[in-house]
């Protein structure tokens, strides 16, 4: 077994003394990692500022591709019914009769159209992630404002037709809200 000699320790000291006074070589290809991050942050901040300004100037906000206006106004007493292509008639009938138990619900009473759109979109997305099969959406009948169309009901009718996760929907049974609510059948993941 050999032990380090004094000669090896002297070599380490000689290297340190030899490096004194040496300056680092600077060239144009070297990128300081910290400086690059600062520049990137500044670019992101200006891009974020631009996007915010553009969003503030935008007249109609669109979330998940859903507009804030209904393409067709429905009456408060009208029954809603929709099925995507390929939905079996028997399944649609069970949904309409309330034979499919709903697992979660969303009440949109008191929401503005924009807030209702946000809530509905998020609720359907969350329900789909949780693998729920059937949910209940309460949109109301607009009886509080005589002579006014059922705007929220009309918007919900449009929005649900546009959402990919929605297979079918139908006005609810009287025990669950009647024409002031809809049962929504959601697409199963992987199917």
Could you please report the per-residue DSSP string of 95-112? HHTT-SPP-EEEE-TT--
pTM above 0.75, yes or no: no
What is the arithmetic mean of pLDDT over 34-58?
A: 53
Class of domain 81-186: alpha beta
Pairing of strands 181-186, 134-138: antiparallel
Which SS3 state, helix, strand or coil, does residue 79 take? coil
- CA 86, 89, 91, 94 torsion: positive or negative? positive
Alpha carbons within 13 angstroms on the beta-carbon side of residue 88 total 3
What is the arithmetic mean of pLDDT over 164-184?
A: 95
pLDDT value at 57 more than 60:
no
Q: What is the pLDDT of residue 141?
A: 82
pLDDT value at 90 more than 60:
yes
Q: What is the pLDDT of residue 6?
A: 55
Summarize pLDDT for 122-168 with one digit per residue, the tens.
999 999 999 999 999 999 887 656 667 788 999 999 999 999 999 99
CB 183 within 8 A of CB 172: yes
Q: H or E stretch including 81?
A: strand 81-83
Q: What is the pLDDT of residue 73?
A: 80
The string over 52-64, giving b where at least 16 C-beta atoms fall within 10 Å of a residue's C-beta and e elsewhere, is eeeeeeeeeeeee
pLDDT value at 42 more than 50:
no
Helices and strands in the chain, H and E counts: 5, 5
Domain positions in the chain: 81-186
Nearest Cα to Cα of residue 183 among 173, 175, 72 = 173
């Amino acid at each position: 077994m050999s032990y380090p000699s004094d000669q090896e320790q002297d070599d380490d000291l000689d290297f340190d003394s030899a490096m004194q006074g040496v300056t680092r070589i600077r060239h144009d290809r070297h990128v300081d990692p910290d400086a690059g991050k600062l520049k990137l942050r500044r670019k992101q901040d200006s891009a974020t500022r631009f996007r915010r300004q553009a969003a503030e100037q935008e007249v109609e906000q669109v979330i998940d591709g859903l507009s804030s206006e209904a393409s067709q106004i429905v009456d408060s007493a009208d029954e809603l019914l929709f099925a995507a292509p390929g939905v079996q008639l028997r399944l649609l009938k069970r949904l309409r009769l309330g034979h499919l138990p709903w697992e979660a619900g969303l009440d949109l009473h008191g929401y503005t159209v924009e807030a209702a759109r946000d809530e509905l979109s998020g609720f359907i997305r969350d329900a789909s992630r949780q693998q729920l099969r059937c949910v209940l959406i309460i949109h109301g009948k607009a009886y509080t404002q005589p002579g006014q169309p059922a705007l929220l009901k009309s918007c919900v009718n449009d929005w649900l037709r546009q959402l990919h996760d929605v297979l079918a929907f139908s006005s609810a049974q009287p025990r669950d809200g009647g024409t002031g609510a809809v049962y929504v059948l959601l697409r199963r993941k992987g199917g």
